[in-house]
Amino acid sequence: MGILILSRFQNTLKIGGRLLLPFLFLSSNSMGDKIHSNLEKKFPECKLEKKVYFLEDAELLKLKEKYPTKNISAFYNYYEKSCSGKMSRLFVSSDVVRTLKQFLLIEIKDKRIVNLEVLKFDEPVEYKVQPYWLEKFYKITSLSEIDKMDGVSGATLTSRSTKYLSWVFLYVDAIIK
Cα separation, 135 vs 141, in Å, equals 13
10-62 pLDDT tens trace: 334 444 443 344 333 333 346 678 898 999 999 999 999 999 999 999 999 99
CA-to-CA separations, 162 to 4, 35, 71, 136, in angstroms, rounded: 26, 19, 15, 12
Between these two residues, 107 and 15, which has the higher pLDDT value? 107
End-to-end CA distance of the chain: 9
Does pTM top 0.85 for this prediction?
A: no
pLDDT of residue 10: 38
pLDDT of residue 177: 80
> Could you state, in order of their start, the residue ranges of all structural domains in the chain?
2-175
3-state helix, strand, coil in the chain (%, to 5): 35, 35, 30
- Beta-bridge mates of residue 113: 108
**Amino acid sitting at position 113:** I
Average pLDDT, rounded, for the chain? 86
Measured in degrees and rounded to the nearest 5, phi and psi for residue 59 equal -65, -40
